[in-house]
Amino acid sequence: MHQDRYVFVYGTLRRGEVNDINRLRPAPTFLGLARIRGTLYDLGPYPGVILGGVGWVQGEVYAISTELEQQLDLIEEVAPVPSGEYTRRHLEVDVGGRALSCLVYEIASARVRRCPRIASGDWLQRR
């Protein structure tokens, strides 16, 4: 596995959720819990994040292979034909004192205009 590929997951890809990244193959390596600057929105069955601002969004960071990254692109519909819902972004994320450049899937702002914010910034605490 290439240890220079990392992903920050904040919604249905988190451990125990419907698209739990740990069920995908080749298996990712869990590196730790982390948080990023952003606003989390509830789109019903899944969330979306708008990056930046003063809020925090909770998530998990994993080391992933190129093959797994391609599967994530399919799940988030950024490839092979982008749906326009999510965009691939790269962001420096602090994971236990180590700054890692992580892939983050950001929702298109038009998709969350009428969606409620998740004030806690944590998809697992949304209920």
Which are the contacts of 35, defined by CB distance < 8 A and separation ≥ 6?
56, 57, 58, 59, 121
User: Is there a domain that residue 127 lies in?
Assistant: no
User: Is there a domain that residue 1 lies in?
Assistant: no
Total tally of structural domains belonging to the chain: 1
User: Is there a domain that residue 83 lies in?
Assistant: yes
pLDDT by residue (tens digit) across 42-85? 999 999 999 999 999 999 999 999 999 999 999 999 999 999 99
CATH number of residue 72's parent domain: 3.10.490.10
- Structure confidence at residue 1 as a pLDDT band (50, 70, 90): very low
User: Is there a domain that residue 30 lies in?
Assistant: yes
Distance between CA atoms of residues 127 and 118, nearest Å: 9
Q: Tell me the pTM.
A: 0.95
Residue 19: give the domain boundaries. 6-119
DSSP state at residue 117: B
Active site residues: 76
